[in-house]
């Protein structure tokens, strides 16, 4: 038997069987992210697949209500739209879930609130505030993250009007949204801004260097591979991507000081591009003395829980998210 | 939660649902998925709860379309779509109260049963015979348009869906929606791949796939060449396949190649490499040999056969002889389709 050298990167981590089957079925129809030219087509595919039926149904039955607000953007920048969902029955101030949507920094919309998050709103009686930040490459860094931060500041300044509890604002996001949530949390700490009670990062996009073992292993397979990741980061940072001068507010993995951050939840798939940067971020949070929890799900490619929600590993992922949120809100 | 077929349809509106469902179960089996994953797939793909009753193992389970395991249904409605093994021991039931709404149910149930039978080590009990029958009807040039359209509908296809047919010796026709998928489905097997055509013209794609199959080789030293041949690439050679009478006397060039190959095991691979590469140097690279070795072989081959195998005219002559040799071999070993 030959053994690999200690530092050698092995073959790709195998996908979970159910996830592999679901991916096989839709693989040819997923948007391709190969360079900036591919972005308009990918945006169309994602917008065409936007499903608001779960929210529409809950609004019709009167369970949830939707409110849209246009608020001032960062200094010198356009206004920002906030998309706000809350339980109609909420009496007193509710916890707030401040949401930065995903989409590789280059696509997606604040209205893309998944069924899972609507279930949280109902289960925990939360108000969900989703921010329509500007996208790259039209808006490079720091535009997108400054929009996210401005929306957070406005939210924290309008807790009475929104009927939310200022001590229970959770910043959350998935993929690029996870990276933006982490960056917004760093900004809030450094600028002595709003108090963030927790950051909740699902398969977060944290590191523009794009050179971890998990990124290299998964090149050419899965949903958001190393090349797609290169496209997203290049859209946001241009030629600065991967260089020495990238801000931690663009790529939170660049932060040199993670002390003083709020309780953190991180999850990620073991067979995806972001595995190693998510694991590294959690390790560094613990090292900095932060209360953090990390789950790495075997056989998961990027966004598996959205692509194959019926799979056992997707259900376990949702269950563990709810379990952490339950513990957090019951504190 | 939106069921998986809706998700697939949204992502892939032009995809043939039936082929996608088949691909899903195939992939599960290939990855060694367990029985519960298969039942969950049946529920997710059909959008209704799926039940498994395994009387050999005393196992029963019920999974809803969002993937949640539930207590088994107390009574099974006899009108629900189902698939049962030949011995009646294993059964999969989809809880569809109005079965006419979703013609994929039968296919999903059959495929789920096959995957389950595979997972529990009894694949022969659950061959989806009907589906193969439908496939054969789709590619049968003699089937009436009405029959073909019924078979297409059974497979979840329309006459306009673009498909290509893959021919593998000893196997049922395989439908694919793109050449890349056809290659994937052929895998490492020797296969001919027909052109992509509207499903209504599948018999032509099937015929061309069979013709292309006659042009394949084992890809070994004794039988060098391509294991997969696309009808699109074969050009006029397809005409030759279809018009060469079985048992016809073969040209002297072919007999000569065959005779000399019997005593010179290096001959066929050398002819293949020289005739399909620009230079002796390229041929040597393809063979993994030093170019002086190939130079020497090519001189010997030219002497044996009586033509210069390295010039352009000689290469064509070699290629034609090799092609006719393959066709002759195929006619001896491959029964014609149907």
φ, ψ of residue A82 to 5 degrees: the values are -110, 140
- Which residues of chain A lie closer than 8 angstroms to B7, CB-CB? 26, 307
Share the mean pLDDT of chain B: 85
Whether residues B44 and A24 touch (CB distance < 8 A) is answered with no
- Percent of chain B with pLDDT strictly greater than 70: 89
Whether residues B10 and A21 touch (CB distance < 8 A) is answered with no
Looking at the partner chain, which of B3, B10, B23 has a beta carbon nearest the beta carbon of A25? B23
pLDDT of residue B131: 64
Q: Domain range holding A137?
A: 17-329
Distinct helix (H) and strand (E) counts, chain A: 12, 8
DSSP B232-286: HHHTHHHHHHHHSPTTPPPPHHHHHHHHHHHH-TTHHHHHHHHHHSSSHHHHHHH
Closest CA to B224 of B272, B177, B261, B257: B272
What is the domain-level CATH number for residue A141?
A: 3.40.50.1820
Is beta strand A164-174 parallel, antiparallel or unpaired with respect to A264-269? unpaired
Q: What is the pLDDT of residues B281-330, one digit of tens each?
A: 999 999 999 999 999 999 999 999 999 999 999 999 999 999 999 999 88
CA distance A278 to A200: 12
pLDDT of residue B321: 95
Closest CA to A308 of A222, A183, A199: A222
In a domain, A4, yes or no: no
Average pLDDT over residues B42-66: 87
| Contact in structure between A315 and B67 (CB atoms under 8 Å) | yes
pLDDT of residue A42: 86
Whether residues A21 and B24 touch (CB distance < 8 A) is answered with yes
pLDDT of residue B147: 81
Whether residues A17 and B23 touch (CB distance < 8 A) is answered with no
- Bigger pLDDT: B173 vs A98: A98
Whether residues B8 and A115 touch (CB distance < 8 A) is answered with no
pLDDT of residue B2: 37
CA distance B294 to B309: 12
- Nearest-neighbour CA in chain A from B223: distance (Å): 33
Closest CA to B199 of B166, B165, B161: B161
Q: Record the tokens describing residue A53, joined without a space.
A: 């039926």
pLDDT of residue A1: 46
In a domain, A66, yes or no: yes
Interface residue ranges in chain B relative to chain A, Cβ cutoff 8 Å: 1-4, 7-8, 10-12, 15, 20-21, 23-25, 27-28, 31-34, 36-37, 40-41, 43-44, 65-68, 178, 180-181
- Nearest-neighbour CA in chain B from A20: distance (Å): 7
Average pLDDT over residues B242-270: 91
Closest CA to B315 of B281, B280, B283, B271: B271
pLDDT of residue A139: 97
pLDDT of residue B103: 59
ipTM of the complex as predicted: 0.73
Q: Record the tokens describing residue A152, joined without a space.
A: 């957070």
- Beta bridge partners, A85, equal A66, A128
Residue B98 has pLDDT above 80, yes or no: no
pLDDT of residue B3: 46
pLDDT of residue A314: 95
- Which residues of chain A lie closer than 8 angstroms to B12, CB-CB? 25-26, 28-29
Q: Record the tokens describing residue B267, joined without a space.
A: 């001959």
Whether residues A21 and B20 touch (CB distance < 8 A) is answered with no
pLDDT of residue B8: 53
Among A103-107, B67-71, B81-85, B132-136, where is mean pLDDT lowest?
Answer: B132-136
Q: What is the pLDDT of residues B216-239, one digit of tens each?
A: 999 888 899 999 999 999 999 999
pLDDT of residue A296: 98
In a domain, A8, yes or no: no
Residue B156 has pLDDT above 80, yes or no: no
* Residues 6+ positions from A164 with CB-CB distance below 8 Å: A93, A94, A95, A96, A127, A155
In a domain, A183, yes or no: yes
- Beta bridge partners, A96, equal A127, A169
DSSP B115-180: HHHHHTT-GGGG--HHHHHHHHHHH-TTS-HHHHHHHHHHTT--TTSEEEEEEETTS--EEESSHH
- Which residues of chain B lie closer than 8 angstroms to A52, CB-CB? none
CA contacts within 13 A on the Cβ side of A143:
19
How many Cβ atoms sit within 10 Å of the Cβ of residue A279? 17
Three-state DSSP class for residue A260: coil
pLDDT interval class at B126 (50, 70, 90): low
| Contact in structure between B52 and B91 (CB atoms under 8 Å) | yes
Whether residues A24 and B23 touch (CB distance < 8 A) is answered with yes
pLDDT of residue A5: 60
Residue B85 has pLDDT above 90, yes or no: no
Residue B276 has pLDDT above 60, yes or no: yes
pLDDT interval class at B5 (50, 70, 90): low
Which residue out of A116, A223, A310 would a mutagenesis test of the B interface target, given it has the greatest number of B Cβ atoms within 10 Å? A310
In a domain, A255, yes or no: yes
Among A78-82, B12-16, B147-151, where is mean pLDDT lowest?
Answer: B12-16
Please tell me what DSSP assigns to residue A289.
T
Residue B99 has pLDDT above 70, yes or no: no
Task: Tell me how many domains chain A contains.
Answer: 1
pLDDT of residue A213: 97
Residue B129 has pLDDT above 60, yes or no: no
- Residue ranges in chain A whose pLDDT is less than 50: 1
Q: Does A30 touch chain B (CB under 8 A)?
A: yes
- Which residues of chain A lie closer than 8 angstroms to B32, CB-CB? 17
CA distance A162 to A184: 20
A267, A270, A272, A274 alpha-carbon torsion, rounded to 10° = 50
pLDDT of residue A297: 98
Looking at the partner chain, which of A18, A45, A314 has a beta carbon nearest the beta carbon of B33? A18
How far apart, in Å, are the Cα atoms of A199 and each of A331, B144, B196? Answer: 15, 64, 51
- Give contacts of A 104-123 with B, CB under 8 A: 115
Q: Record the tokens describing residue B128, joined without a space.
A: 């989806």
Which residue out of B2, B5, B6, B7 would a mutagenesis test of the A interface target, given it has the greatest number of A Cβ atoms within 10 Å? B7
Average pLDDT over residues B199-210: 93
Q: Specify which of B102-106, B146-150, B272-276 reaches the highest per-range mean pLDDT.
A: B272-276
- Bigger pLDDT: B125 vs A152: A152
pLDDT interval class at B334 (50, 70, 90): low
Q: What residue segments make up the domains of chain B, in order of their start? A: 4-126, 131-214, 244-333
Looking at the partner chain, which of B2, B66, B180 has a beta carbon nearest the beta carbon of A51? B2
pLDDT of residue B12: 47
| Contact in structure between B307 and B274 (CB atoms under 8 Å) | no
pLDDT of residue B13: 44
């Amino acid at each position: 038997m030959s053994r690999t050298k200690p530092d050698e990167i092995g073959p790709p981590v195998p996908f979970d069987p159910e996830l592999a089957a679901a991916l096989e079925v839709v693989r040819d129809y997923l948007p391709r992210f190969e360079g900036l030219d591919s972005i308009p087509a990918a945006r169309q595919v994602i917008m065409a697949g936007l499903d608001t039926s779960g929210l529409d149904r809950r609004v019709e039955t009167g369970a949830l209500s939707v409110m849209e607000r246009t608020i001032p953007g960062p200094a010198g920048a356009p206004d920002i739209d906030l998309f706000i969902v809350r339980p109609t029955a909420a009496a007193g101030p509710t916890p707030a879930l401040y949401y930065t949507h995903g989409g590789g920094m280059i696509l997606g919309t604040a209205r893309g609130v998944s069924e899972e998050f609507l279930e949280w709103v109902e289960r925990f009686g939360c108000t969900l505030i989703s921010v329509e930040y500007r996208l790259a490459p039209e808006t490079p860094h720091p535009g997108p993250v400054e929009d996210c931060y401005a929306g957070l500041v406005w939210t924290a300044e309008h807790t009475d009007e929104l009927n939310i509890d200022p001590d229970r604002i959770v910043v959350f996001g998935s993929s690029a949204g996870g990276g933006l949530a982490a960056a917004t949390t760093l900004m809030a700490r450094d600028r002595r801004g709003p108090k963030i009670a927790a950051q909740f990062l699902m398969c977060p996009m944290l590191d523009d260097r794009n050179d971890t073992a998990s990124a290299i292993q998964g090149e050419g397979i899965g949903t958001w591979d190393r090349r797609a990741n290169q496209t997203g980061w290049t859209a946001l940072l241009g030629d600065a991507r991967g260089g020495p001068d990238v801000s931690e507010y663009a790529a939170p993995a660049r932060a040199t000081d993670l002390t003083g951050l709020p309780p953190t939840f991180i999850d990620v798939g073991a067979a995806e591009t972001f595995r190693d940067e998510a694991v590294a971020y959690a390790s560094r949070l613990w090292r900095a003395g932060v209360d953090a929890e990390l789950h790495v799900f075997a056989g998961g490619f990027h966004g598996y829980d959205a692509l194959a929600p019926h799979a056992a590993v997707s259900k376990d992922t949702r269950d563990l998210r709810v379990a952490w949120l339950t513990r957090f809100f019951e504190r | 939660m939106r069921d998986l077929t809706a998700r697939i349809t949204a992502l892939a509106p032009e995809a043939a649902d039936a082929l996608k469902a088949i691909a899903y179960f195939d992939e599960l089996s290939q990855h060694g998925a367990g029985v519960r994953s298969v039942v969950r797939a049946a529920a997710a793909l059909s959008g209704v709860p799926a039940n498994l009753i395994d009387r050999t193992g005393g196992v029963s389970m019920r999974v809803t379309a969002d993937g949640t395991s539930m207590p088994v249904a107390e009574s099974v409605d006899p009108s629900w779509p189902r698939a049962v093994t030949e011995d009646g021991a294993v059964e999969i039931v989809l809880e569809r109260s109005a079965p006419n709404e979703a013609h994929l149910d039968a296919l999903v149930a059959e495929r789920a049963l096959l995957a389950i039978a595979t997972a529990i080590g009894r694949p022969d009990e659950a061959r989806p015979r009907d589906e193969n029958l439908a496939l054969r009807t789709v590619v049968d040039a003699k089937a009436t348009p009405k029959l073909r359209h019924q078979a297409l509908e059974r497979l979840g296809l329309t006459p306009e869906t673009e498909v290509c047919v893959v021919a593998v010796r000893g196997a049922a026709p395989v439908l694919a929606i793109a050449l890349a998928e056809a290659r994937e489905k052929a895998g490492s097997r020797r296969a001919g791949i027909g052109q992509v055509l509207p499903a209504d013209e599948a018999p032509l794609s099937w015929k061309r796939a069979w013709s292309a199959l006659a042009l394949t080789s084992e890809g070994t030293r004794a039988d060098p060449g391509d294991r997969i041949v696309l009808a699109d690439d074969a050009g006029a050679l397809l005409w030759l396949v279809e018009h060469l009478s079985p048992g016809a006397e073969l040209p002297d060039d072919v007999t000569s190649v065959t005779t000399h190959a019997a005593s010179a095991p290096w001959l066929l691979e050398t002819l293949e490499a020289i005739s399909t590469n620009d230079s002796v140097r390229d041929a040597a690279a393809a063979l993994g040999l030093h170019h002086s070795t190939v130079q020497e072989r090519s001189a010997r081959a030219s002497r044996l056969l009586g033509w210069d195998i390295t010039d352009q005219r000689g290469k064509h002559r070699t290629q034609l002889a090799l092609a006719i040799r393959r066709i002759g071999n195929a006619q001896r070993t491959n029964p014609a389709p149907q």
